[in-house]
Structure 1
Amino acid sequence: MDYKDYYKALGVDKKATNDQIKKAYRKLARQYHPDVNPNNAEAERKFKEINEAHEVLSDEDKRRKYDELGADWQRYQHAGAGRGQAQGGFDWSQYQQAGGGGFESFGDDGNFSDFFSNIFGSMGGRGGSRAGAGQDYQAELELTLEDAYRGGPRTLNVNGKSLRITIKPGVEDGQTIRLRDQGAPGRNGGPNGSLYITLRVLPDARYARLGNDLTQEVQVPLYRALLGGEQVVDTLSGSVKINIKPETQNGTRLRLRGKGFPVYNKEGESGDLYLHLTVQLPQRLTDQEKDLIRQLAALRND
């Protein structure tokens, strides 16, 4: 039976903290989840592998037992015992569960490898099994920019179950929300897993977002740019009037304080909205308009 390197499976160092292990697991679980990779046997294999690694490394007792096994395994290899022969020559007996002694069985052994079951529990021996947390679920939810701005209730289906959640204003693309107890059922009375929802905020044709600030392109008629005046601009919080100064140049940037995106989890705080003014040249000029422009050009010696 081959030794399984659970640290390598999660891409973490052997001195990794519990938080580092959890972070690596969540990232890989999202990448290889069956819902993201339908009918992909390799992704399914990888998903089971990282779940098995997380099952061991996230538990203090199981991780200690696994590290002891790893140290003995290295000594066995360094002694040359594995050269030219199968690694099955390693003495597993001191780590195997026998007759309910040692480590107790847990989980659905059908989801784990022979290596796992041989060290941490007998196949099918559940009489003395201990509790374990259920598997975490992963899901994605698409939002428009306006949805992310306003927040509010949303409904999504996960594993055949309809869930109603409330999105807080100001969420960002890629942000993850955790719902406790909405994952797989716990084993033998253990707690349910969690549901991690990754939010995908769709691009918007009107606004560009950078953090909590927004940028908007605004076209200003030539005559208003030259002579000044008021102009109505649409924002995510409603229409506002802005003052165009006389002789406003093409490319001028205006800042509207507090008209950007809400700051997540900080009620009453918002970013700013930056208006990029583009002077719009008139089209389909009449003969009279052309004559007036020629007169203006002559006056300015252009």
Structure 2
Amino acid sequence: MAVIDYYEILGISKKATANEIKKAYRKLARKYHPDLNPNNKEAEQKFKRINEANEVLSNPENRKKYDEYGEHWQHAEDYEKAKQQQKQYTKQQGSQGSSRRYTDEEFSDLFGSMFGGGSSRTHGGQVKFRGQDFNAELQLDLKDVYTAHKRTLTVNNKNIRITIPAGIENGQVIKIKGHGGKGVNGGPNGDLYIAFSIRNTSSFKRNGQDLYAAVDLDLYTALLGGEITVHTFDGKVKLTVKPETKNGTKVKLKGKGFPKYKKEGQFGDLYITYNIKTPTKLTAKEKELFTELSKLR
């Protein structure tokens, strides 16, 4: 099995900062994301390796273990325990007159073979290890997470059908249990962690479950009142405007915001801000009427 060099995968040096790791990962993840490279097996493999590298190097503790133990970083504690047991064993054997002692290098090779799927045993049984966790980023549009929907992801050459709950937020991470790396010697699989990157191409601003929008209001409706039609995220509604409405007035449309995460049927609110538009290109008659109105005031 070829040695995995996570630094090389991300194209960074071993002295790279956390910010440099983050930038390198995001750049490569976007380039090789399966959504942008449909039916491209090579891109899928690269995307998988990029996520594995980021999982290790973006975590300071994991990175330290990787720098010391390489691809077996997840088993650092077990390695040290086993190494200590080996030293105690050889010490005991030496006190009994045995001439066979394993060197650190020999023991490292023996222990490493177990990680590769060998049948090394400790105290009469195989040591089981949990598989590695995987990280992935999924890019969606805001409209995609307004309703719950299913989506198929390709992870480690396997298609996974998941349900994306309505109301999920930008940067939120969900765990898909058992879809990470395969366990060693019958150990449990790792988990898959999916981070959501949500683009907002709508005219609404989102803050949690609440939405915000600006609506232009003509001067006459603002002064005299009336009824207007406004857009919500899922359609149009009619709204009554009170007479003498001021510029910048805010109104709340209860329950017309974004769905609340994992709370079916519950929504935030939509806040509308009125921007009163001053009429331009007035006719001579309009100017005359406004002049008369100004004299009355």
Q: Does 1:265 align with 2:265?
A: no
Residue 158 of structure 1: CA displacement? 2.8
- 1:91-240 alignment, distance < 5 Å: 93-94=87-88, 122-124=111-113, 126-127=118-119, 128=121, 129-240=126-237
- 1:15-26 alignment, distance < 5 Å: none
Work out whether residues 149 and 169 of structure 1, in 8 Å CA contact, stay in contact via their aligned partners in 2: yes
Distance (Å, rounded) in 2 between the aligned partners of 1:236 and 1:117: 65
Unaligned 5+ segments in structure 1 are 1-26, 70-91, 100-114
Larger deviation: 283-292 or 42-51? Answer: 42-51
Distance (Å, rounded) in 2 between the aligned partners of 1:281 and 1:241: 22
Residue 286 of structure 1 is matched in structure 2 by 283
Residue 123 of structure 1: CA displacement? 3.4
* Alpha-carbon displacement from aligned partner over 1:23-69 (angstroms, at most 9, x marks no partner): xxxx99x95879649799x9798477456555446xxxx49949x97
Q: Secondary structure at the match of 1:169?
A: coil
Work out whether residues 97 and 118 of structure 1, in 8 Å CA contact, stay in contact via their aligned partners in 2: no
Distance (Å, rounded) in 1 between the aligned partners of 2:143 and 2:223: 34
Aligned with residue 274 of structure 2, among 277, 291, 298: 277
Larger deviation: 271-280 or 183-192? Answer: 183-192
* Alpha-carbon displacement from aligned partner over 1:93-149 (angstroms, at most 9, x marks no partner): 3488999xxxxxxxxxxxxxxx99957962325322422222111111112112122
Residue 250 of structure 1 is matched in structure 2 by 247
Rate the CA distance shift 1:96–1:297 in 2: closer, same or farther, 3 A: farther
Distance (Å, rounded) in 1 between the aligned partners of 2:136 and 2:91: 37
Work out whether residues 183 and 190 of structure 2, in 8 Å CA contact, stay in contact via their aligned partners in 1: yes
Q: Secondary structure at the match of 1:186?
A: coil
Unaligned 5+ segments in structure 2 are 1-17, 31-45, 67-71, 94-103
Distance (Å, rounded) in 2 between the aligned partners of 1:122 and 1:299: 95
Distance (Å, rounded) in 2 between the aligned partners of 1:117 and 1:255: 72
Q: Normalising by structure 1, report the TM-score.
A: 0.64
CA root-mean-square deviation? 4.0
Larger deviation: 239-248 or 146-155? Answer: 146-155
Residue 258 of structure 1: CA displacement? 0.9
Residue 4 of structure 2 is matched in structure 1 by none
* Alpha-carbon displacement from aligned partner over 1:170-219 (angstroms, at most 9, x marks no partner): 11111111112211222122222211111111134411111211111111
Letter in 2 for 1:242: L
Residue 75 of structure 1 is matched in structure 2 by none
Rate the CA distance shift 1:159–1:148 in 2: closer, same or farther, 3 A: same
Q: Secondary structure at the match of 2:182?
A: coil
Letter in 1 for 2:111: S
Distance (Å, rounded) in 2 between the aligned partners of 1:95 and 1:208: 66
Letter in 2 for 1:154: R
Distance (Å, rounded) in 2 between the aligned partners of 1:216 and 1:285: 29
Q: Secondary structure at the match of 1:182?
A: coil
More helix by share: 2
Aligned length: 231
